[in-house]
């Protein structure tokens, strides 16, 4: 009896089997003991851009032109044992985890089923995580190297000279503070990213919170002679948000508007309603952001000018934190910027 005959179910049973294979999120192909493709579901045929009616009944190795995959299927057909593999398939851009299992009907060997599990997203996440670890290590190492260098110099005799001692202690002081800032930002980022912390949404007066934040930045504003203008409606500007998180957002955005501004520059914060949303614009007269960098500034550790940001103790995590907080409020953030003219960050939040 041929294989088709061997696998011949009652019509209803066959349809049911096909429906099960079709409904799977994984790609599935069934290959008979003569190496021919018996069934393939649409997930797999689409992933590999294959026409189903053209490949059914054809030899599997003519269709899947991937040596490692074909070798695995062939081995499993010969040994009648399961086999597994994770790799990227030549026919598409995706990475699949592939599991081949023998099919028996009683004692009789009918062929093999190969199940393709798309792990492309998982792989991308793994890559991002390892990039992140590399970035963190680098960011930790830079200030630590300066701290260790200064301590060594002090021990070698610089401590005897009051001027040298003060200079190296200042270096240690500055870099330790940078380290603390980095670690605080990392902890905050991991908190907002994990979504572990529940947001406490409440009615807030955004202008009041802004004034408080601006108060804490007084020193920086004065030393750069930067003026802040608030442009808000008469009545309290009410938003529905988590107070602590929103304070963090304002602190980052105004902090950037100061840090990347020219001495004597201006910052204007504007609040207005649009339909169901409350919008707040942070406009500065600073150095601006080149157009090609704009899509990347919300990435963790991304800085347009690394040395300028690092000099002022920046870690490049600020905007990543801001974006996460805004998104957790179902809000949005947009940027418009012109180099040498200034930038405007606009956040949209639920209004109260
Ligand atoms: N208002 C702005 N004007 C010009 N460039 C900006 C502005 N805001 C952000 N940037 C650019 O985007 C980068 C990322 O900003 P982000 O706030 O994430 O990091 P940072 O300010 O460098 O460090 P941190 O906020 O962690 O102290 C900055 O390094 C800077 O290059
Ligand atoms: Mg910042």
- pLDDT of the residue at 91: 63
Half-sphere exposure of 327 (CA within 13 A, CB side): 12
CA distance 35 to 140: 56
| Ligand 1 pocket mutation pick from 318, 334, 346 by most atoms within 8 angstroms of CB | 318
- pLDDT of the residue at 258: 97
φ, ψ of residue 309 in degrees (nearest 5): -65, -45
> Ligand 1 in contact with 178 (CB < 6 A)?
no
Enter the pTM of the model: 0.75
Ligand at minimal distance from the CA of 304 is 1
Give the pairing of strands 227-231 and 266-274. parallel
Boundaries of CATH 3.30.565.10 in the chain?
200-352
According to DSSP, residue 59 is labeled B
Q: Please state which architecture CATH assigns to domain 120-197.
A: Orthogonal Bundle (1.10)
CA distance 320 to 185: 10
DSSP string, 159-227: GGSHHHHHHHHHHHHHHHHHHHHHHHHHHHHHHHHHT-SPP--EEEEHHHHHHHHHHHTHHHHHHTT-E
Question: Which bin fits 111, alpha (ψ -120 to 50), beta or left (φ > 0)?
Answer: left
Boundaries of CATH 1.10.287.130 in the chain?
120-197
Nearest Cα to 347, choosing from 210, 203, 224, 192?
210
The class (CATH top level) of 3-118 is alpha beta
| Ligand 1 pocket mutation pick from 250, 256, 338 by most atoms within 8 angstroms of CB | 256
The number of the ligand 1 atom at minimal distance from the alpha carbon of 345 is 1
> Ligand 1 in contact with 318 (CB < 6 A)?
yes
Ligand at minimal distance from the CA of 181 is 1
| Ligand 1 pocket mutation pick from 142, 255, 307, 309 by most atoms within 8 angstroms of CB | 309
Orientation angle between helical segments 318-328 and 243-259, nearest 10 degrees: 140
> Ligand 1 in contact with 297 (CB < 6 A)?
yes
Query: Residue 88 in contact with residue 107, Cβ under 8 Å?
Result: no
Beta bridge partners of 5: none
Query: Residue 99 in contact with residue 91, Cβ under 8 Å?
Result: no
Find all residues with CB under 8 Å of 112, minimum gap 6, and list them.
Answer: 30, 31, 73, 76, 77, 100, 101, 102, 103
- pLDDT of the residue at 7: 54
> Ligand 1 in contact with 189 (CB < 6 A)?
no
* Closest residue CA from atom 20 of ligand 1: 316
Nearest Cα to 347, choosing from 339, 336, 338?
336
According to DSSP, residue 262 is labeled P
Q: Which CATH number fits domain 200-352: 3.30.565.10, 3.20.20.80, 2.40.110.10, 3.30.2320.50?
A: 3.30.565.10
Q: What spacing in Å lies between the alpha carbon of 133 and ligand 2's midpoint?
A: 20
* Closest residue CA from atom 7 of ligand 1: 256
Boundaries of CATH 3.30.450.20 in the chain?
3-118
- pLDDT of the residue at 32: 94
CA distance 209 to 240: 13
Which residues in the chain land under pLDDT 70? 1-11, 14, 90-91
């Amino acid at each position: 009896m041929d294989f088709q005959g061997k696998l011949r179910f009652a019509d209803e049973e066959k349809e049911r089997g096909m429906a099960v294979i079709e409904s799977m999120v994984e790609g599935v192909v069934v290959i008979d003991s003569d190496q021919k493709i018996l069934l393939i579901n649409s997930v797999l045929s689409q992933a590999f851009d294959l026409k189903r009616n053209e490949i059914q009944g054809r030899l599997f190795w003519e269709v899947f032109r991937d040596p490692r995959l074909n070798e695995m299927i062939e081995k499993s057909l010969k040994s009648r044992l399961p086999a597994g593999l994770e790799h990227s398939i030549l026919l598409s851009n995706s990475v699949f985890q592939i599991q081949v299992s023998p099919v028996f009907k009683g004692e009789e060997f009918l062929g093999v089923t190969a199940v393709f599990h798309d792990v492309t997203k998982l792989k991308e996440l793994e890559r991002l995580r390892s990039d992140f670890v590399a970035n963190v290590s680098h960011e930790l190492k830079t200030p630590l190297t300066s701290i260790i260098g200064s301590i060594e110099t002090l021990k070698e005799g610089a401590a005897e000279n009051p001027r040298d001692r003060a200079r190296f202690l200042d270096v240690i002081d500055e870099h330790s503070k940078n380290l603390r800032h980095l670690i605080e930002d990392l902890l905050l980022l991991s908190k907002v990213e994990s979504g572990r912390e529940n947001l406490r949404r409440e009615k807030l007066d955004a202008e009041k919170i802004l004034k408080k934040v601006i108060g804490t930045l007084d020193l920086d504003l004065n030393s750069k002679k930067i003026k802040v203008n608030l442009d808000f409606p008469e009545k309290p500007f009410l938003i529905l948000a988590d107070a602590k998180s929103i304070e963090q957002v304002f602190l980052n955005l105004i902090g950037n508007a100061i840090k990347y501004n020219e001495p004597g520059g201006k910052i204007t914060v504007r609040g207005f309603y649009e339909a169901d949303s409350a919008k707040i614009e942070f406009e500065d007269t600073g150095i601006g952001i080149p157009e090609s960098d704009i899509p990347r500034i919300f990435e963790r550790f991304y800085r347009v000018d690394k040395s300028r940001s690092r000099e002022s103790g920046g870690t490049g995590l600020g905007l990543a934190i801001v974006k996460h907080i805004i998104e957790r409020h179902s809000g949005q953030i947009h940027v418009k910027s012109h180099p040498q003219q200034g930038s405007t960050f606009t956040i949209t939040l639920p209004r109260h």
